[in-house]
Amino acid sequence: MTLWTMLAVMAAAALFCRMAGYAAMRFLPPSNRLDAALRATPLAVMAGITAQALAAGGLTEAVALASAIGLTVLTRNDVGAAVGGVGVAALLRWLGV
């Protein structure tokens, strides 16, 4: 599978998840279960993406993922932690790890 195919599939999955959330909010009555499901969807998508990268990768990906998790815990900023994890991966690649 090519990179562009994987990116297209992941983008389609993310779009589908977002649209399904809007559909659920429109057609289903509000409840605690629905709220919990909508809050968990972005995390599930990110977990699927990172699990694929971790399974195909090695030490660099594992360290980058660990740093992103650590940054998330420390800063409570998911986007900043993701950018930091990518930065760690880029730095390790540049160092030849």
pLDDT digits (tens, 9 = 90+) for 22-64: 887 788 888 888 788 777 777 777 778 778 877 887 888 889 8
Q: What is the pLDDT of residues 2-15, one digit of tens each?
A: 888 988 988 898 88
Count of domains forming the chain: 2
Residue 11 lies in a domain: yes
Residue with tokens 């390790």: 92
Is 13 within a domain? yes
* Position 73 in a domain: yes
Rg (CA), the chain: 16
- Domain check: are 62 and 35 in the same one? no
Rounded to whole angstroms, the Cα distance separating 79 from 19 reads 21
11 in Cβ contact with 5 (< 8 Å): no
pLDDT for the residue numbered 82: 86
Q: Are 13 and 47 in contact (CB under 8 A)?
A: no
The boundaries of the domain holding residue 72 are: 57-97
pLDDT of 33: 86
Residue 74 scores a pLDDT above 90: yes
